[in-house]
Amino acid sequence: MRHLPYFCRGEVVKGFGRGSKELGIPTANFSEQVVESFPSDISTGIYYGWACVGNGDVHKMVLSIGWNPFYKNIKKSVETHIIHTFKEDFYGEILSIVITGYIRPEKNFDSLEALISAIQEDIEEAKRQLDLPEHLKLKEDNFFHLPKGKIVNNH
Ligand code: ADP
Ligand code: MG
Domains and CATH numbers, the chain: 6-144 (2.40.30.30)
Q: Of all protein residues, whose CA lies closest to atom 21 belonging to ligand 1?
A: 26
Q: Distance, CA 81 to ligand 2 centroid (Å)?
A: 8
Amino acid at 116: I
Stated length of the chain: 155
Q: Rounded to whole angstroms, how far apart are CA atoms 46 and 147?
A: 30
> What pLDDT is stored for residue 126 in this prediction?
98
Ligand 1, CB within 6 Å, residue ranges:
12, 14-18, 20-21, 26-29, 81-82, 84, 86, 89-91
Instruction: Provide the 3-class DSSP secondary structure of residue 132.
Output: coil
Instruction: Provide the 3-class DSSP secondary structure of residue 70.
Output: helix
Q: Distance, CA 11 to ligand 2 centroid (Å)?
A: 13
Q: Of all protein residues, whose CA lies closest to atom 1 belonging to ligand 1?
A: 15
Amino acid at 147: P
pLDDT tens across the length of the chain (155 residues): 889 999 999 999 999 877 788 888 999 999 999 999 999 999 999 999 999 999 999 999 999 999 877 777 888 999 999 999 999 999 999 999 999 999 999 988 888 899 999 999 999 999 999 999 999 999 999 999 866 555 555 55
DSSP secondary structure, 74-94, as one string? SSEEEEEEESS--SS--TTSE
Q: What is the pTM of this model?
A: 0.92
- Is position 88 annotated as part of the catalytic site? no
Among 60, 111, 98, 54, residue whose Cα is nearest residue 81: 60
Mutate to test the pocket of ligand 1, among 89, 94, 123, 127 (most ligand atoms within 8 A of CB): 89
The helix (H) or strand (E) run that includes residue 32 is helix 32-36
Q: Rounded to whole angstroms, how far apart are CA atoms 83 and 27?
A: 10
Q: Distance, CA 21 to ligand 1 centroid (Å)?
A: 6
Q: Half-sphere exposure (CA, 13 Å, Cβ side) for 30?
A: 27
Of 11, 36, 79, 124, catalytic: 79
Q: Is 78 exposed, middle or buried (0-12, 13-18, 19+ CB in 10 A)?
A: buried
